[in-house]
């Protein structure tokens, strides 16, 4: 499923609670259990067909990003996932979804750009920005409708009233691996090979995160930090 040569791949909401419990199950048991995910999905999704389709999205997210989950588990041996702050888990979910379905990232960048110059944006603005990248068709519109409630759940934006949105509460990140994964996601999906440390606070993607979360990172898990002629150096993946 693509438009303008860009992959979309998503046309139904994936509830955070289901993805979160699927990540926990994987980290504790080392397997992606489709049956478990489907049973959890039935709690949030009406109809077996819709639940089955949404289950496949969760399986796809975990399968495609399994290498990150393995690294995450190794770097957090002494910290059970279930005891981590909700903000950290929501940020991880946001990265996993965005890396699997980059339209999520493009949607969030469009929102951040709009909300930088005005306090609220409407659905028409969002659709026009995303469709300028993916093309104007029903497939893109369905994907946007699926993604908006998902990113609201993840605290990136809030719905003020019908079709009107504003910035949500910024996610405060305490887990170092997840902090690095946030930066990794922006470098990867923006198409750049590196990013200046001084630029982090100016990049649209970081609109959704408390910037103090990135102040004390050693940048050694997913990123490499190198010196530069100016500022605090730059990060590469």
pLDDT tens per residue, range 150-200: 999 999 999 999 999 999 999 999 999 999 999 999 999 999 989 999 999
Q: pLDDT tens for residues 134-144? A: 999 999 999 99
pTM: 0.94
Count the Cβ atoms, other than its own, within 10 Å of residue 164: 12
CA distance 92 to 177: 9
Q: What is the dihedral of CA 120, 123, 128, 134, to 10 degrees?
A: 120
Q: What is the Cα–Cα distance from 141 to 135, expressed in whole angstroms?
A: 10
Average pLDDT for residues 60-83, to the nearest whole number?
A: 96
Answer yes or no: are the C-beta atoms of 134 and 8 closer than 8 Å: yes
């Amino acid at each position: 499923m693509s438009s303008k040569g860009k992959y979309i791949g998503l046309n139904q909401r994936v509830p955070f609670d289901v993805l979160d419990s699927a990540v926990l199950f994987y980290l504790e048991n080392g397997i992606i259990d489709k049956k478990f995910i489907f049973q959890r999905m039935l709690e949030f999704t009406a109809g077996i067909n819709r639940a089955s389709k949404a289950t496949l999205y969760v399986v796809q997210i975990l399968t495609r990003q399994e290498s990150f989950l393995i690294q995450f588990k190794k770097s957090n041996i002494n910290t059970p996932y279930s005891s981590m702050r909700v903000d950290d888990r929501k940020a991880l979910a946001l990265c996993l979804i965005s890396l699997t379905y980059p339209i999520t990232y493009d949607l969030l960048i469009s929102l951040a750009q709009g909300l930088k110059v005005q306090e609220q944006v409407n659905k028409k603005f969002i659709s026009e920005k995303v469709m300028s990248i993916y093309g104007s068709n029903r497939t893109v519109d369905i994907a946007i409708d699926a993604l908006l409630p998902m990113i609201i759940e993840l605290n990136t934006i809030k719905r003020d009233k019908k079709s009107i949105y504003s910035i949500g509460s910024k996610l405060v990140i305490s887990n170092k691996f997840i902090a690095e994964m946030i930066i990794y996601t922006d470098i990867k999906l923006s198409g750049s090979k590196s990013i200046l440390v001084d630029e982090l606070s100016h990049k649209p993607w970081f609109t959704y995160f408390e910037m103090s979360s990135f102040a004390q990172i050693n940048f050694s898990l997913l990123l490499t930090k190198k010196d530069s002629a100016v500022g605090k150096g730059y990060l590469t993946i």
